[in-house]
Structure 1
Amino acid sequence: MATRPIVAIVGPTGSGKSDLAVQIALAVDGEIVNADALQFYRGMDIGTAKITPEERRGVPHHLLDVLDVTQEASVSTFQTWAREAIADIHARGRRAILVGGSGLYVRAALDVLEFPGTDPALRGRLEAEADRDGIETLRGRLRAVDPVSAARLGDARRIIRALEVHELTGRPFSSFMPVRQYAAPAVQIGLDLDRAALHERIAARVHRMADAGLAAEVSRLAAAGLREGKTASRALGYGQFLRVLDGECTPERAAEKTIVATRQFARRQLTWFRADPRVHWLDALSPDVVGQALAVVRSADAMSGR
């Protein structure tokens, strides 16, 4: 039997995605699949604003707390996990609701997207070359085989990955970029709000995290290997509060730096999601945002004949 479209709730951090997803799930007999890369990590609760068991209101949540902080999040592995979770939810006659602000992870779950393999030995050689010769030397090599990626990628990790893919496949890394074609029926709902309101919500959220014990959470995770985690250690708030542990920063200054970094991240999220014409945007602060979202879902169901 054909399944109804996957519902994806997207938008910037602090816009209320998790709460809206729960309310939609309660209304449509749904289960939630997490697409926030940092909420995969066990123990990273306060700093990621991970939804609590009480806030889930009995709605099953998938792909929370599936990695240790020392493990690296992989978008290709997530694609497999997410599609398996979605298939299981639909096989039981329930509705899959994807929620998160990690743009590439959302695309991996929803869209036709191919991931090239990896080679740890090759990756290690390229990382050693970057340490020895400098990342600009590697960028020059990438420019010769994939000028699109060389112009687009800014950090060393992605430049190394692009060279790894080219050496493994003979194809430019840019040729693996996603296209806007759903792998299965889906509808995306985006939460938006004006910049001043978003900035205010982000600042309040970071201060709540600090008051709730973010510094203590970072201290516990540092003892569990947070610094060694390539993905987890770069998470907003965690890197800033590691400096508090090292005596390089006050908690107040760490909170301020986290607010600035989170605002910058939210701007990048909005740029990513606004570039996708398939997203149905709603005012996150509308008193009827739940009703409006459910109307979008019902319209998508009608169009798909479900």
Structure 2
Amino acid sequence: MTPSHAAPPVIAVVGPTGSGKSDLGVELALALNGEVINADALQFYRGMDIGTAKITVDERKGVPHHLLDIKDVTEEASVADFQAECRAVIADVHARGKRAIMVGGSGLYVRAALDVLEFPGTDPVLRKRLEDEWETFGLAPLRARLEKVDPISAGRLGDARRVIRALEVHGMTGRPFSSFMPQREYFQSALQIGLSVDREVLRERLALRVHRMVDAGLLQEVERLDAAGLRRGKTASRALGYAQFLRVLDAEASVPEAAEETIVATRQFARRQLTWFRADPRITWLDWQDPDLVSKAVALA
């Protein structure tokens, strides 16, 4: 696919979880004759509604939303697949004379859609061999091998899944995994609007949101999804709230304990999101609690 120079800029609303991105996306769409494209990896999943704070039909105010509820919880989310799907939706929205408004806090997914970014393929046989080595010998030998062929990735990647992926890519392509990292170059013209938050207020807001999720039936939602195969889903089963409340079903934690673990994990995730987005100088930041937020965002667009 080649970038379109005639299309209007893609608008991306980004920021930490709980900052009001979904609401702003809807208001921008209403003001600009736009349609919203979801860029939250966990909102791809059907049935993961309460725990992802998925925008409801009423809250969408009639604005079309794309790439919501497109996967079963047993399916794995793929950044490469999302890149192709999201760009196809953007092209379709623009072809119909509408504005494409992407909304989400999954940083790599946003970058994949907006930036020039190449994704290497996969080699299941090589991946299996590396996973077997990890299970037999541990992570240290794999990390040592990665340090020899790709010291940049070795310094960045901590968990086994990412180390194995880096070695898989090197084994397939002969190139270091770090050479595939995105550059800050837009695939087509774009405007990124970030929601700047008061961190202490956000901390309390996230705690309150988790408690509301519990009151709204998060445990029952996890129980239903568990019956539908949640544990088999590599992406969905690790989602905030869902992983913690699976432990309740296994009698390994109480509901209050799972709620507190979810609050801690969500706050940590929000900090990582802020670090990710703050590193991108192209983002224009607006105060999430500004009473003129919508009008200022519309003016930018």
TM-score, length-normalised on structure 2?
0.98
CA RMSD of aligned residues (A): 0.8
Q: CA–CA distance in 2 between the matches of 1:71 and 1:137?
A: 30
- Counterpart of 1:136 in structure 2: which amino acid? A
Deviation string for 1:173-219 (max 9, x for gaps)?
00000000100000000001111111011011111111100000000
Q: CA–CA distance in 1 between the matches of 2:215 and 2:106?
A: 26
Match of 1:81 in 2: 85
Match of 1:121 in 2: 125
- Counterpart of 2:238 in structure 1: which amino acid? R
Does 2:191 match 1:187?
A: yes
- Counterpart of 1:123 in structure 2: which amino acid? R
Q: Give 1:138-287 correspondences, 5 Å limit.
A: 138-287=142-291
* Residue 262 of structure 1, CA deviation: 0.3
Match of 1:55 in 2: 59
Deviates more, 1:90-99 or 1:129-138: 129-138
Specify the SS of the correspondent of 1:291.
helix
Deviates more, 1:123-132 or 1:19-28: 123-132
Specify the SS of the correspondent of 1:113.
coil
Deviation string for 1:126-184 (max 9, x for gaps)?
11111011012111111110011011001111111000000000000000000001000
Give unpaired runs (5+ residues) of structure 1. 298-306
Deviation string for 1:97-153 (max 9, x for gaps)?
000000000000000000001111211111111101101211111111001101100
Q: CA–CA distance in 2 between the matches of 1:204 and 1:65?
A: 25
- Counterpart of 1:31 in structure 2: which amino acid? E
Q: CA–CA distance in 1 between the matches of 2:50 and 2:143?
A: 37
Give unpaired runs (5+ residues) of structure 2. none
Deviation string for 1:208-241 (max 9, x for gaps)?
1111000000001111111111111110000000
Q: Give 1:16-27 correspondences, 5 Å limit.
A: 16-27=20-31
Match of 1:12 in 2: 16
User: How many residues end up aligned between the 2 structures?
Assistant: 297
TM-score, length-normalised on structure 1?
0.96
* Residue 45 of structure 1, CA deviation: 0.6
Q: CA–CA distance in 2 between the matches of 1:121 and 1:91?
A: 41
* Residue 74 of structure 1, CA deviation: 0.4
Specify the SS of the correspondent of 1:282.
strand
Runs of 4+ aligned structure 1 residues displaced above 3 Å come to none
Q: CA–CA distance in 1 between the matches of 2:293 and 2:140?
A: 47
